[in-house]
Structure 1
């Protein structure tokens, strides 16, 4: 009798965690490779689960795909690892055991690291090997991203003639990561043809049962649940789960009452947990109908706060817009910073932008300075947010804080690695890439947190992204820019350009895009400054002509300033032929140079339109 026929009239017990047991053996590495190097250990784990009462086991192939194996240099072993995994499972199974080919989700926090097309290619390869070896079903487990799971279910149903089990993982009970109700996500999986739909991982039994209370019985498919053992704890340098196997006995009964027909365990569960589940469901029959608990209404999402001024990406569509970068101090003497900021305000800038510890060197918090600028000096701030210094928790908290302060103009950047800064031993976090951060901010604008939970209010972030045209392959840089547009970037700010011809090339390469671009222009302070930028700062390239001009006046500071301004104004002229956005980067504390450039931009605008635009 095949798996689906058994599920029509029975509750089936599945196995528990594989990685948890291998971790307990001290083997914290690529667990899928153990199919080749430690096959006896994998066999023994399968046997332990079957002896505990598991009627359904999964192959040790959760991450046995090209993408995940490549992280260990094992991408050429996809076929061997999957074939051996099925062989070991068959060797351990008895005649009544069903074997599911496990295929885990790809996308974690950094969704932008892998495209849907790459996921599909890698998925098809692994699926082929599992089906060729004769598994009894395909288990799609630990999928946080709905788009990804929907896509692979479609492929699995096209290619497989065995049952497909599709399971979401939740960051929050009741909702998917995109804010959709779980019941709607499971309904969509059923519509796509999944034979068993359910939840696994992340949640313990309590919250998983809570989620299933709001899920009706499917019309055609069956329900599955693979809860974690508990919340994760950290003890003596190791991650551990609460030892609560007996608790799973009563929880399994409650899951059956919610319509679950396939019950297993995920992270932290052991053969003891599976034995408790088997004892709990013994003699129970599947329910045919249930009373669904009403879904709690989502928190009312209030409208976003809107500045009286339009966002920068709208201003630049109407006229030449100027934003100026002025780095916050590395010390606690702030008088010069605020003096410069006020001079720039008087010159008529649209926003003052502040980096987030650029070059991995600590400075006064740009959020603190932005708040003072906004509240006390009435200057519009644009803050940079780097992915380097904050994990996912910190980034979400940071964004909520910015909204609470009324600061909604932001630039998302990945951030310079810590090793180039003042503290090369400091940790670089990089939970998210800049593209992931952009997407998260746009989701905030819909009133939805990263986990899918309602924020209770929509934010109003206008999101800028960085664009570095100073590369050998401009087409590749533009392709990355296009990815950021798809992630939700509203406009772009470039690295400083020092070549008039390059500005035309950037225009031609990006003219197909509808998002505005602010062209970076950075006045030079001296020949030493020019040489340093050209030779040592990544992403900045000066022309030989500019280096020669600055070298000729290297011993005359006054003349160096004149030449610097002449170069900057020539670059402004070139930029304004093609772009409405000018991004002036203040060198050191020389805001006098940027004030001069701001005045020059306004003079050009005045001449072009015959009116004062300040």
Structure 2
């Protein structure tokens, strides 16, 4: 009798965690390599689960794909590792006739950039072929946070085989995937594309797994599965532990059975004792065949509160828009910053932009200074947010705080690595890339948290992205812009540009885009400053002509300042003809230099009529 036939009339008990037991043995490296190096250990674990009552065991191949094995330099051993794994499982299952599932683990978490779908399919194909060659009773797809990846995987496997497929999602919040889709809807989608058994595993313990299944209807054809963690994890003296009583886990299986689940196993933290308890409580029970799911009141997500000011990217599509960067202080004296911001805003700019600890050096939080600007001086702040300093928890908390403060203009950037800053021993986080951060911010605009949970209100962020045109091959940089647009970027802010030819090149390379671009202009203060920027600061390059003009100023400070301003004005002449967005970066709190450039571009605009033929109004 096959697996699906057995599930027609039975509730089956699956095995528990492999990694948990290996970890308890002091093994903390590539678990899958043990299929080759220590096969007797893996076989013993399979046998322990079978003795505990497991009807189904899974191969030790969760991470046995080229992408994950590459972390250990084992990407060329996909064939050997998977071949050995299914042979070991088959050998262990033979005496009792247990079902053997070939396991394939998810690759993506929140970071879609971890792997493209093409890379995932290539890796999947390598692993699946080896598992299928071993004649498993089915395939188990587990720990998939990204539904797109899981659906793609199921669809592809269906082109290779007709054997049963178990497709399991993982959730951060009970009953909701990280994209905000209800669990019931996700499972129906998986059933529709060919999964025979659909369910959840990992991340959540029994309590929250049961809660998640409360809103899940019985599928039309597929069966439901659940592999909860033993409990929420804890850290004890640097080691991961799960505080869970096996009897409690076994009793929880009764509730899962009542929710319609027919295949029940365990994930992180579970052991043969947990599986023995599950078997004891449900092994003699028949599955339920009908279920009433109470309709829950939908959570109403409030629309974002409208603002009285036009979004910067909307204004820049049709008219001159000027933003000026002014660094927040490295000390606690905010006098000069506030004074400069007031004068800049009084001069007619649209927003004061503040970096997020630029060059990895600590400054007063731009959230704090932005709040002071907005609420004390009625000045519009534009806050930069880096991926460097905050993990996903901190990023969402920070963004929710900005929204609560009414700060809705954001620049999402990767952030300079900590090694170049004041604290080179500090850790760079980089949970996500700037592209993923843009997507997550846009998700907040839909009222959905990073974990998929409702925020009950939509955020209202206008999201800028960084654009570095100071590269040898501009087309590649433009391709990255297009990716950022796909992720939701509303407009772009460039690194400082020091060449009129480069500005023309940017125009030609981006004129097909409707997304506004703000051209960065940063006045130079002296020759040393120009040499430092050119040779040491990532993303900034000066032309030889500009460098020479600054060298000729020698140590004459006034002459150097005047020349720096003149260079910026010449650049601005070109930028103003081709782009509506101007981004002035204030050097060393010299907001007097920024003020002169503001007045200059305003004079340009007064002298020329709007809408002349060579102005790129769409950019």
Structures share fold, TM-score greater than 0.5: yes
1:419-430 matched pairs, under 5 angstroms: 419-430=419-430
Q: Which residue matches 2:196?
A: 195
Contact 1:352 1:381 in 2 (8 A): yes
The SS at the match of 1:318 is coil
Deviation at 1:496, TM superposition (A): 0.7
The structure-2 alpha-carbon separation of the partners of 1:610 and 1:48, relative to structure 1 and needing over 3 Å to count, comes to closer
Corresponding position: 1:480 with 2:480: yes
How far the C-alpha of 1:63 sits from its partner, in A, is 1.3
Alignment of 1:236 with 2:210, yes or no, is no
Once the two structures are superposed, residues 87-128 of structure 1 have per-residue CA deviations (whole angstroms, 9 ceiling, x without a partner) of: 111121125111111111111132233222222222222222
Residue of structure 2 in register with 1:344 after alignment: 344
* More displaced stretch, 519-528 vs 482-491: 482-491
Relative to structure 1, the CA distance from residue 78 to residue 508 in structure 2 (aligned partners, 3 Å threshold; closer, same or farther) is: farther
- Give the Cα–Cα distance (whole angstroms) in 1 for the partners of residues 137 and 293 of structure 2: 32
CA contact (8 A) 1:305 1:406 kept: no
Aligned equivalents of 1:291 and 1:467: distance in 2? Answer: 53
C-alpha displacement of 1:546: 0.6
Contact 2:107 2:114 in 1 (8 A): no
Query: What are the Cα deviations for residues 25-70 of structure 1, in whole angstroms up to 9, with x where unaligned?
Result: 2222221222222222211111111111111111111111122122
CA deviation map 1:159-193 (0-9, x unaligned): 11210110111111121111111111111111111
1:311 corresponds to: 311
Q: Quick check: 126-135 or 490-499, which moved more?
A: 126-135
Q: Output the CA distance in 1 between the equivalents of 2:514 and 2:37.
A: 53
Deviation at 1:610, TM superposition (A): 7.2
Superposed CA deviations along residues 429-471 of structure 1, whole A, max 9, x for unmatched, are 1111111111111000000111111101000100011111112
List aligned pairs for 1:384-403, cutoff 5 A: 384-403=384-403
Distance across 1 between alignment mates of 2:522 and 2:33 = 51
8 Å CA contact 1:413–1:466 kept in 2: the answer is: yes
CA distance in 1: counterparts of 2:134 and 2:601, whole angstroms: 69
Tell me the equivalent position of 2:14.
14
1:199-239 CA distances to partner (integer Å, 9 max, x unpaired)? 11111111111121221111111110100000111112111
Give the corresponding residue for 2:603.
603
Q: 2:102 touches 2:138 (CA, 8 Å); kept in 1?
A: yes
CA contact (8 A) 2:110 2:146 kept: no
State the partner residue of 1:504: 504
Q: How many residues are paired up?
A: 610
SS at match of 1:609: coil
Are the structure 2 counterparts of residues 610 and 303 from structure 1 closer, same or farther at C-alpha, using a change threshold of 3 Å? closer
1:364 aligns with 2:395: no
**How far did 1:419 drift?**
1.2
Give the structure 1 partner of residue 224 of structure 2: 223
1:408 offset after TM fit, Å? 0.4
Please state if 1:80 is matched with 2:80: yes
Partner of 2:124: 123
2:35/2:81 contact within 8 Å kept: yes
1:262-341 matched pairs, under 5 angstroms:
262-294=263-295, 296-341=296-341
Larger deviation: 537-546 or 573-582? 573-582
Q: Does 1:138 align with 2:160?
A: no
Q: Quote how far apart the aligned CAs of 1:372 are.
A: 0.6
Rounded Cα–Cα distance in structure 2 between residues aligned with 1:501 and 1:512: 19
Deviation of residue 243 (structure 1)?
A: 3.3
What is the DSSP-based 3-state SS (H/G/I as helix, E as strand, rest coil) of the residue aligned with 2:518? strand
Separation (CA, whole Å) in 2 of partners of 1:297 and 1:48: 45
Equivalence map 1:72-111=2 (5 Å): 72-95=72-95, 96-111=97-112
Question: How far did 1:5 drift?
Answer: 1.0
Contact 1:298–1:454 (CA under 8 A) maintained in structure 2: no
- Contact 2:16 2:271 survives alignment (8 Å): yes
* Contact 2:323 2:349 survives alignment (8 Å): yes
Mark the CA change 1:113 to 1:571 in structure 2 (over 3 Å): closer, same or farther.
Answer: farther
Aligned match of 2:594? 594
**Which secondary structure does the structure 1 equivalent of 2:317 belong to?**
helix
1:317 aligned counterpart, secondary structure: coil
More deviation in 586-595 or 76-85? Answer: 76-85
The question of whether the paired residues in 2 share the 8 Å contact of 1:10 and 1:285 is answered with yes
Change in 2 beyond 3 A, CA 1:106/1:306: same
Contact 2:12 2:283 in 1 (8 A): no
> Which residue matches 1:208?
209
- Give yes or no for contact 2:467–2:495 (8 Å, CA) kept in 1: yes
Report the alpha carbon displacement of residue 486 of structure 1 after superposing the two structures with TM.
Answer: 1.3
Deviations 1:394-441 (A, max 9, x none): 111111111100000001111111111101111111111111111111
Aligned pairs for 1:52-71 within 5 A: 52-71=52-71
SS at match of 1:88: helix
Normalised by the length of structure 1, the TM-score is 0.97
Counterpart contact for 1:496–1:521, Cα < 8 Å: yes
Give the alignment's TM-score, normalised by structure 2. 0.96
Q: Which structure 2 residues correspond to residues 448-467 of structure 1 after superposition, within 5 A? A: 448-467=448-467
Alignment partners' CA distance in 1, 2:20 and 2:341: 55
Q: 1:75 to 1:510 in 2, by over 3 A?
A: farther
RMSD: 1.4
How far apart are 1:73 and its partner, in Å?
A: 2.0
**Partner SS, residue 246 of structure 2:** coil
Where 2:267 maps in the other structure, the secondary structure is coil
Provide the residue aligned with 1:2 in structure 2.
2
**How much has 1:305 moved relative to structure 2?**
2.0
| In structure 2, C-alpha distance between the alignment counterparts of 1:41 and 1:506, rounded to whole Å | 60
